[in-house]
Copies of this chain bind each other. A is one copy, B any other.
Amino acid sequence: MASEHTAKAFDSDLQELTRLVAEMGGLVERMITESVDALIRRDVALGKRVVAADIEIDNLQRVIEERAVLTIARRQPMAIDLREIVSAMRVATDLERIGDLAKNMGKRVAALESDFQPLKLIRGLEHMTDLVLSQVKSVLDAYAAHDLPAAMNVWKGDEEVDAICTSLFRELLTYMMEDPRNISFCIHLMFCAKNIERIGDHATNIAETVFYMIEGQQITDKRPKGDMTTFATTVPGT
């Protein structure tokens, strides 16, 4: 970037982008919490509010993309400056997908008509959500603070979520085998558990974006994977 003026203009563009990503992150965290609350409490109205909130997330993603592109065209940033802008776009893409997954859970609330709701299942779902939510919060903090070790902690933490998901699937499968009247309800919860696990995957993506932003290259280590649900014939997850 040639002049001091350009550098200042770039800094202000970048600040605004970072602010927008933080705003989007806050909204998405709320969508996760509220969608699972709605599921557990069978709060159809809250589920509908989560569905409605997704429009705002989609709009924010477009705004971030648009501003990022304009900043690249106007300021022609290089190296770390360019990576900062590209990273903002990437994080916004992952947040948008998380919004879609929460929206999908919000939609399912209205369909859960059964009274069947074993406490162990609810606890498992809550525990998984707490873990994933803390991953999303931590990775967004790491992104904002350029804290690579914190981002790498999130990156490594994905295994635990996958393990809980596999165990939830096993439990849901047992309930389905026991009584066909549980099937419909349990399938909804399977899709929800899968959605929460996928939200964890997006937190991992964001950790990889932080790595790229700071280190200037894509992460090459293989992502840790604790989720074996696709391979176990009795546990038909992922």
Q: Contact residues of A with B, CB < 8 Å?
A: 62, 65, 69, 72-74, 76-78, 82, 85-86, 93, 104, 107-108, 110-114, 173, 176-177, 180, 183-185, 187-188, 190-191, 194, 218, 230-238
Contacts and interface: CB of A to CB of B under 8 A. Distances in A.
Contact of A77 (B73, B93, B232): B73
A236 B180 contact: no
A111 B173 CA distance: 15
B236 A187 contact: yes
Nearest to A110: B231
A111 B236 contact: yes
A91 to B, nearest CB: 13
A190 to B, nearest CB: 7
Given A72-B69, A86-B65, A231-B110, A238 B187 contact: no
A191 B77 CA distance: 43
Number of copies of this kind of chain in the complex: 2
A176 B178 CA distance: 12
Nearest to A194: B191
Given A69-B82, A76-B73, A231-B110, A104 B238 contact: yes
Contacts of A86: 65, 69
A108 B107 CA distance: 26
A117 to B, nearest CB: 15
B72 A233 contact: no
Contacts of A194: 191
A188 B236 contact: yes
Nearest to A76: B73
A98 to B, nearest CB: 13
A78 B73 CA distance: 9
A73 B65 contact: no
B76 A233 contact: no
Contact of A111 (B72, B176, B187, B230): B230
Contacts of A74: 76
Nearest to A238: B104
30 contacts: A69-B86, A72-B73, A73-B76, A73-B82, A76-B76, A93-B93, A104-B230, A110-B230, A110-B231, A111-B230, A111-B231, A111-B232, A111-B233, A111-B236, A113-B233, A173-B184, A173-B187, A176-B180, A176-B183, A177-B183, A180-B180, A184-B234, A184-B235, A184-B236, A185-B236, A187-B190, A188-B236, A191-B236, A191-B237, A191-B238
